[in-house]
Structure 1
Amino acid sequence: MKRFNYKKRILLILLSMILAFSNVGCSNKSNNTTKEVKATTESSQVENQRNSIDKEVLKNYKYGDWISFNEDGTFKKDDRGATGKNGVISSQRYEASKIGTSIMEKGGNAIDAAVATAFALGVCEPNASGLGGGGFAIIREGKTGEIKFIDFREVAPSAASEDMFPIDKDGKVIDESKIHGGKAVAVPGEVKGLLYILEKYGTMDRKDVMQPAIELAENGFLVTPKAEVAFADAYKLMKDYPEFGKIYTKDNLPVERNNIVKNPDLANTLKIIAEKGEDGFYKGEVAESIVNSVKKYDGIITLEDLANYNIHEMEPVAGTYHGYKILSSPTPSSGGTHLIQILNILENYDMTKYKLYDSNYMHLLSETFKMVYADRAKYMGDPNYVKVPIKGLMSKEYAKKLASKIDMNECKNWDADDPWKYEGDDTSHISSADKDGNMIGITKSINYYFGSGVVPEGRGFILNNHMDDFSPVPGEPNSVQPNKKPLSSMSPTIILREDNSPYMVLGAPGGSSIFAQLSQVISHVIDNKMDLQDAINLPRILDNIDNKVQYMEDVNQEELDKLKALGHEITKEEGAFGFVQAVEYLEDGTINGGADPYSDAKAVGY
């Protein structure tokens, strides 16, 4: 979730070169040094020489008819949304959204399209998600109107323990084992989750749905400016984990824009899954390569862990906002609960009287977010292991109590309140809807950009580092335990009108900021009657238990100064907190999609 910054990129590559040179033996140091210094020098040329789009590359690229960036390398702010009569899908890469609509054109429904898009995203957005990760999905069946939530979140290996990560006196992990390497890897759930969704709610054959992703891996995807920076930032990780670097380097440097990255190993893995189903991943040769690679880098996942992995179909959490019905992710994701909690608090205010992102509006959001994040830190964890006051947190009365504590003239620090009495740093999101009322939101992740860095030998995909989502401190609600799911904030969400007709499906990546982002877009559309794409285009703010308002560019400086006067500490976010993807049903039956302009995202209609 970083915007590209060329000065930063060059510094990172220079630093990585120094690290690389220190590992080169005397016999071949001269040749390699000359080659890499030359490449670094070329990377340091005037930016305008590097920013131009290679028209020949686009001409020969299947998806070259739309790109996410301008001639100067900046993100396009227009042409992100789309409408359709039959269906619309919005995801974080145009290639993946286009693949989704191609499935609809072949007769597939919104669920078929979303699964095809999900597999494709694992190919062309490998920094954010893929076969080595997991996630959540919320689904509405058009025929019945029934809404279900699918949990395919990763779990801790059976050999995991509360003290598996070494910590200092402040509870901080003292090495990188929780972030990179084998110990950071949780048992992945994406393959089982996507195939379950397709089999139960889709209409098409698995091989047909997966074929476009296989072809994308074989033929390659375009490196955009955003992808270029992601690869550059991961250069040291590529050096530390050569199986990873093998895929995404060229001439011993991270691949740059205008290159096409092919991944035949991933194509072969997808073919095995298409042929054998989930057994092609959780058993046999692919499973063995996962276990061997994790073990090589000090991990503890076993073949039994993979074979025993299970997904869960659940009821979503449910709430209301000004008559609209909000359905979102239950625990072990905290996202749905806290999204509803935020909206419940805001419902106590007339949001239409505030000018968007003036000091009063930002102050109200800030105070609301701080209270909610304080509750999240104190109460949230896997409900199979700890008691969580879900009903209390989502109670309208509890929200009313919290709202009454907000002073519109003063910034405050908040501790967690007591919801029990009312009990009665990367991710990807897909939103898809069709003319028959089928809706699906899938949020999936390998956690940080490029996850653990571990790539099973010859398989072409990166394993997650979701063990980092656990607390390393024993005895806490979110501490590590065998087969436990780490806390999440992923919040794929469906909104219905008062008559239960479909209205919107949306979600976002962004770690713990996800539900705070979604609450702002939902309020813009419902309270201010904004066009969906316009609502997504607006800047967003964030605050949490750190009591520090983060803001995106384009927020008025005068209003920020007023916010400071209320006692807020503020800091600018370079880029975006995450990327909202959404699809809505308009009153005339048109399906309208919106995609975040701070990324490579694009909605495509059919």
Structure 2
Amino acid sequence: MKKLTALLTTLALALSLTACGPKAPAASSGSGTPAASSNAPGDSSAQPADDGYTSLDDFILWNEDGTLTTTGRDATGQNAVVSSGKYEASKIGRTIIENGGNAVDAAVAVAFTLGLVEPNATGLGGGGFMTMRSAETGEIKFINFRECAPAAATPDMWQVDAEGKVIGSQNMSGGKAVGVPGTVAGMLYALENYGTMSRDEIVAPIIELAEKGFTVTPTLSADMNNTYDKLMLYSESGKIFLKDVDGILLPYDVGDTFVNKDYAKTLRLIAKDGADVFYKGEIAEAMVKAVQKYGGLLTMEDLANYQVEVMEPVHGTYRGYDIYSSPSPSSGGTIILEILNILENFDVPSMEHDSAEKQHLVGSAFAMAYADRGEYMGDTKYVDVPVNGLANKDYAAKLAAKIDMDTAMTNVLPDDPWMYEHEDTTHFSVADKEGNIVSVTFTVNGYFGAAVAADGYGFILNNEMGDFNVGAGHPNSIAGGKTPLSSMSPTIIMKDGEPFAAIGSPGGTTIIATVAQICSNLIDHGMTMQEAVDAPRISGFRDTTLNYESRFSSETIAEMEAKGWTMNASDEFNRSFGSVNAVRYAEDGTLDGAGDPRRDGKALGF
């Protein structure tokens, strides 16, 4: 009956596609074996399970009812730990280090693996940031491989209605949503300058996985179902991310084996010809053709001109710990420091993590810091941003003085940091015993990006243009070559010159709140890495309204409401609160890794 309903839904879609948007089928929680695919050779396809084959080995990710497990996500290691949003990526990253590679080699392998197994959140058609530490030199560098606007992009490139909203979601799907991708350039730059292995060595196990197939999880299946409309509207994407059942494209079921031979082909081309094939060769031509087919502005010149940028990370301190995170064009590192600087004015370590006293302070800090973010942050190559002022401790003390411990803040407006002046996604962390650390957050922005795919190459393109503000006159307005504002915050924490932790998260603007809370959990409350990741979180920064995971006690919520907060309950573990995959250096010298149970995260060590 379920399959019949899906078939009828798809038939209805085919008839109504030009009139109005079809409704996506309900998310499946089944784990039945799929029918054999009739996709053309080289295309992605669902395959029947082979003698119980699963790419998850003995890792139990979901329960019989389809809900994700909340235990077994952590790992320790004497030599190294890799923690990512997918078991398969962590496994391949660990194998790279076991075979003699360093943390950067492992990170590049993890990134390319996530492009295969987590295409709903990231991939070759996206971009992001890397914060890395070299044990040999002690240097901490930031690599910016974020997407940028095509040269022809302008603030009026989208049609808007009378209320200033983009008509037809042109900023979120289709060709005009696509920015110039940076992931391939960024990863290959890191490999060539900081790694030890060849491209062939890095991609070999990923190619094998792409051709053998990986197991579809409840998270991926649900995202395929929830973006079914979009994937069907763009045929090249539907051919990759939907399975062919008797000539009809349907979302994958939980437990299906997803084969992506086109992705394997793409990795072989990258291994052979490097970044040139992606930015100047046949893959570039396929991307431009796809984007322009759907009305976009991407050109071969945009791709050929893309440049990775090596920068100094934002640096600040919190209770004696050094925090290194993302500079502009991300707002993340700066605003995280602003939040932590505000909290530093209070005796947070004496408070219970889940107390109303602590959460009131955190919510108040969020309100003020996010107000500043909206007012001031943008790409510093195009606008003046008071970065030093926003991260200044005296400025934070001024903001902290505004907090009334008994009353929620209302009508929070941005302050003036200038007087102190002297940005769905995935994250992974790799660390080894020598102190080499790589913290990477990268994305295609929304689930399955713009839903525009390079035909025959097995990956989706980003919808990063949607991160710009609509219209002119804002620090984050569109300009050709400009990078949109981001909250991505791959972060490294040091203590007395020694490595302490690598953290980060997906989650859009909630990334900042999530990373700040993890920092506090580790530093203020002395949690292990998995305890810090598992602890319940809050999010929100407007109109005295906070969302919270329902593991907070009823007493805490009642106290918060008495202070004037509007408290909105969410699930016990909710993916909208981020998905932190992180590593901590424990006092006994072991590496303490955590995967986030809010999604598919898993840490592996050895």
TM-score exceeds 0.5: yes
User: Does the 8 A contact of 1:12 with 1:233 survive in 2?
Assistant: no
Q: Deviations over 1:114-165 (max 9, x none)?
A: 1101100000000111000000000100111001000000010000011111
SS of the residue 2:144 aligns to? strand
Amino acid at match of 1:424: H
CA shift digits 1:255-290 (9 cap, x unpaired): 111101111111111110111000010011111000
Tell me, yes or no, if structure 1 residue 528 matches structure 2 residue 521: no
In the superposition, relative to structure 1, how do residues 596 and 212 fare at CA in structure 2: closer, same or farther (>3 Å)? same
Pick the aligned partner of 2:68 from 70, 75, 84.
75
Cα displacement (A) at 1:187? 0.3
Matched residue SS, 2:427? strand
CA contact (8 A) 1:342 1:519 kept: yes
Question: How far 1:96 sits from its partner (Å)?
Answer: 0.2
Asked if 1:493 is matched to 2:485, the reply is no
- Residue 148 of structure 1 aligns with an amino acid whose one-letter code is K
Q: Is the 8 A contact 2:583 2:594 kept in 1?
A: yes
CA distance in 2 between counterparts of 1:184 and 1:24 reads 20
Correspondence for 1:32: none
Which residue number corresponds to residue 461 of structure 1?
459
Corresponding position of 1:594? 594
Per the TM alignment, residue 21 of structure 1 is displaced from its structure 2 partner at its CA by 4.3
Helix, strand or coil at the partner of 2:129: strand
1:205-232 residue CA offsets vs partner (Å, 9 max, x unmatched): 1110111222222111110111110110
- Alignment map for 1:69-218 (pairs within 5 Å): 69-218=62-211
Secondary structure of 1:551's aligned partner: strand
Structure 2 portions without partners, runs of 5+: 35-47
Give TM-score, length-normalised by structure 1: 0.92
Choose which of 239, 244, 248 in structure 2 pairs with 1:246. Answer: 239
Of residues 426, 451, 454, the one that matches 1:428 is 426
Match of 2:402 in 1: 405
Deviates more, 1:152-161 or 1:59-68: 59-68
Q: Give the conservation status (yes or no) of the 8 Å contact 1:58–1:64.
A: no
Deviation of the 1:567 alpha carbon: 1.4
Change (3 A) 1:484 1:210: same
Among candidates 330, 335, 338, match of residue 327 of structure 2: 330
Residue identity matched to 2:486? S
Q: Find the partner of 2:13 among 1, 19, 27.
A: 19
- 2: CA distance, partners of 1:40 / 1:486: 33
The 2-side partners of 1:560 and 1:57 are apart by 49
Instruction: Quickly say closer, same or farther: Cα 1:455–1:99, change in 2 above 3 A.
Output: same
Which one of the candidate residues 463, 471, 474 is aligned to 1:473? 471
Read off the aligned partner of 2:349 and give its amino acid letter.
Answer: T
1:584 match: 584
Is the CA contact 1:582–1:594 (under 8 Å) kept in the aligned structure 2?
yes
> Measured at CA, do residues 13 and 545 of structure 1 come closer, stay the same or move farther in structure 2, by a change above 3 Å?
farther
The CA deviation at 1:548 is 1.7
Q: Distance in 2 between matches of 1:13 and 1:484?
A: 44
Tell me how far apart the structure 2 counterparts of residues 453 and 53 of structure 1 sit (CA, whole Å): 26
CA apart distance, 1:57? 5.7
1:221-232 correspondence runs (5 A): 221-232=214-225
One of 431, 440, 452 as aligned partner of 2:438: 440
Matched letter for residue 300 of structure 2: L
Q: Post-superposition shift, 1:60?
A: 2.0
Deviations 1:173-217 (A, max 9, x none): 122110000000000000000000111111111110111222222
Taking a change above 3 Å as real, the CA distance of residues 344 and 13 of structure 1, as seen in their structure-2 partners, is: farther
- Distance across 2 between alignment mates of 1:12 and 1:400: 57
1:306 aligns with 2:306: no
The letter of the residue matching 1:155 is: C
Partner of 2:274: 277
The count of residues paired between Structure 1 and Structure 2 equals 582
Cα distance in 1 for partners of 2:259, 2:542 equals 43
SS at match of 2:509: helix
Does structure 1 conserve the Cα–Cα contact (< 8 Å) formed by 2:76 and 2:604?
yes
Q: Provide the rounded CA distance (Å) in 2 between the counterparts of 1:488 and 1:589.
A: 34
Q: Which moved more, 1:240-249 or 1:254-263?
A: 240-249
What aligned pairs does 1:336-351 form with structure 2 within 5 A after superposition?
336-351=333-348
Letter in 1 for 2:182: G
- Provide the alpha-carbon RMSD of the alignment: 2.5
| Residue identity matched to 2:338 | Q
CA distance in 1, matches of 2:418, 2:486: 21
Does the Cα contact within 8 Å between 2:31 and 2:255 map onto a contact in 1? no
For the residue of structure 2 that corresponds to 1:157, the secondary structure is: coil
**Residue in structure 2 matched with residue 33 of structure 1 by the alignment:** none
SS in structure 2 opposite 1:262? strand
Aligned residue for 1:516?
A: 513
- The answer as to whether partners of 1:391 and 1:424 remain within 8 angstroms in 2 is yes
Is 1:604 the counterpart of 2:595? The answer is no
Check whether the contact 1:425–1:510 (CA below 8 A) recurs between aligned residues.
no
| 1:234 corresponding residue in structure 2 | 227
More deviation in 275-284 or 425-434? 425-434
Aligned-partner SS, 1:544: strand
Amino acid at match of 1:505: A
Q: Does the C-alpha gap of structure 1 residues 101 and 53 become closer, same or farther in structure 2, counting only changes over 3 Å? A: farther
The alignment partner of 1:70 has SS state of coil
Percent identity for Structure 1 against Structure 2: 49
Cα distance in structure 2, aligned partners of 1:151 and 1:348: 32
Distance (Å, rounded) in 2 between the aligned partners of 1:375 and 1:193: 30
Name 2:362's counterpart in structure 1: 365
The one of 383, 392, 396 equivalent to 2:393 is 396
> In the aligned structure 2, how far is the partner of 1:364 from the partner of 1:274?
50
Distance 1:587 1:562 in 2: 36
Deviation at 1:572, TM superposition (A): 2.7
Summarize deviations over 1:324-359 as a string: whole Å, max 9, x none.
100000000000001111111111111123222222
Stretches of structure 1 lacking an aligned partner (at least 5 in a row): 1-6, 26-35
Alpha-carbon distance in structure 2 between the residues aligned to 1:409 and 1:16 = 55
Mapped to 2, the partners of 1:94 and 1:591 lie a distance apart of 18
Give matches, 1:564-583, under 5 Å. 564-574=561-571, 575-576=574-575, 577-583=577-583
Pair 1:419–1:260, CA change in 2 (3 A):
same
Rounded to whole Å, the distance in 2 between the matches of 1:366 and 1:160 is 37
Q: In structure 1, give the amino acid aligned to 2:568.
A: T
Distance 2:420 2:252 in 1: 54
| Secondary structure of 2:567 counterpart | strand
Tell me the amino acid that sits aligned with residue 353 of structure 2.
L
Q: Is the 8 A contact 2:76 2:590 kept in 1?
A: yes
- Range with greater deviation from structure 2 (98-107 or 531-540): 531-540
Task: Please state how far the C-alpha of 1:58 moved relative to its aligned partner.
Answer: 7.8
Following the alignment from structure 1 to structure 2, what is the Cα–Cα distance between the partners of residues 113 and 563? 44
User: 1:149 is paired with a residue of what secondary structure?
Assistant: strand
Measured in 2, the distance between the counterparts of 1:462 and 1:372 equals 34
Cα deviations across residues 569-605 of structure 1 (Å, max 9, x unaligned)? 2223352321011111112211111110111110000
Relative to structure 1, the CA distance from residue 24 to residue 537 in structure 2 (aligned partners, 3 Å threshold; closer, same or farther) is: same
| Distance apart, 1:300 and its partner CA | 0.6
Letter in 1 for 2:597: P
Residue 555 of structure 1, CA deviation:
1.9
For the residue of structure 1 that corresponds to 2:594, the secondary structure is strand
